[in-house]
């Protein structure tokens, strides 16, 4: 399947899970010349592969539909991290609620380690669609595969479209669980050693031993 169609399917899969409210949220994928990204004001119901915008990481595209207003956010992360391939930005409910507290997702659950460290940081608030947001987000996501964006939402990346969808769903679930725990009391945070053990174990997690 073409990268363009995979982007359309990824955007639709996020919408089907109520993770895109209206036209909020956008997705991109790295290419040899830069990236493919959803157009601004995207509608999951009518999005087609020919509406996907091809552009370089400096903001040049051949015309036609305008790229997402957050293209610089995507470009900054693609530029900073060679491991970033598929990028998802959403305003999903629980990630956004936590981001509106201007708080990171701390090590309240070992699954936080899936995002590359012992927290998911929250980039400070600046206006959406600005180069300043791109710089702050690239800084907050450094060494991780996700970060929150204060008073805005979240962004995450992965090596495949399926993994990027899964990462967005898992981050949203962890934010929901953290907010539930906060509402019920004061969650115990895991220690650095406990998180280091979880991170080390993730290196072997989910692999079936060879039977031969």
Q: Which residues are designated catalytic?
A: 70
C-alpha to C-alpha distances, 64 to 8, 40, 55, nearest whole angstrom: 17, 12, 11
Least Å from the CB of residue 157 to ligand 13P: 16
* Interface pattern 24-63 for ligand 13P (x via CB under 6 A): xxx-------------xxx---------------------
Q: Which of 68, 64, 128, 67 is nearest to 96 (CA)?
A: 128
Q: What are phi and psi of 27, to 5 degrees?
A: -135, 150
Q: Is 211 helix (H, G, I), strand (E, B) or coil?
A: coil
* 151 binding ligand 13P? (CB under 6 A): no
Q: How far is the CB of 23 from ligand 13P (least distance, A)?
A: 5
Query: Which residue from 4, 128, 173, 187 is in contact with ligand 13P, where contact means CB under 6 A?
Result: 128
Shortest distance, position 201 Cβ to ligand 13P, whole Å:
35
Work out whether the CA dihedral 169, 25, 76, 134 comes out positive or negative: negative
**Cα gap 205→114, rounded to integer Å:** 11
Scanning the structure block, which residue is given the tokens 């995450």?
156
Helix (H, G, I), strand (E, B), or coil: what is residue 96? helix
State which of positions 161-190 bind ligand 13P (CB under 6 A). none
Size of the site for ligand 13P (CB under 6 A): 13
Question: Is residue 111 involved in binding ligand 13P (CB under 6 A)?
Answer: no
State the residues that interact with ligand 13P by CB under 6 A: 23-26, 40-42, 68-70, 89, 91, 128
């Amino acid at each position: 399947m073409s990268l363009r169609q995979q982007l359309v399917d990824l955007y639709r899969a996020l919408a089907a899970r109520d993770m895109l409210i209206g036209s909020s949220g956008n997705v991109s994928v790295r290419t040899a010349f830069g990236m493919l990204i959803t157009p601004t004001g995207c509608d999951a119901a009518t999005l087609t592969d020919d509406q996907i915008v091809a552009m370089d990481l400096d903001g040049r595209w051949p015309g036609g539909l305008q790229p997402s207003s957050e293209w610089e956010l995507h470009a900054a992360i693609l530029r900073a991290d060679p491991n970033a391939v598929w990028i998802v930005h959403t305003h999903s409910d629980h990630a956004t609620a936590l981001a509106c507290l201007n708080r990171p997702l701390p090590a309240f659950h070992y699954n936080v380690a899936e995002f590359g460290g012992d927290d998911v940081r929250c980039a400070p608030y600046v206006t959406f669609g600005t180069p300043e947001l791109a710089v702050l987000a690239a800084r907050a996501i450094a060494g991780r595969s996700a970060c929150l964006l204060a008073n805005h939402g979240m962004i995450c990346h992965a090596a495949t479209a399926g993994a990027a969808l899964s990462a967005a769903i898992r981050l949203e679930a962890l934010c929901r669980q953290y907010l539930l725990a906060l509402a019920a009391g004061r969650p115990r945070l895991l220690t650095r050693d406990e998180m280091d053990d979880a991170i080390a174990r993730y290196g072997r997690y989910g692999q079936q031993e060879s039977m031969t």
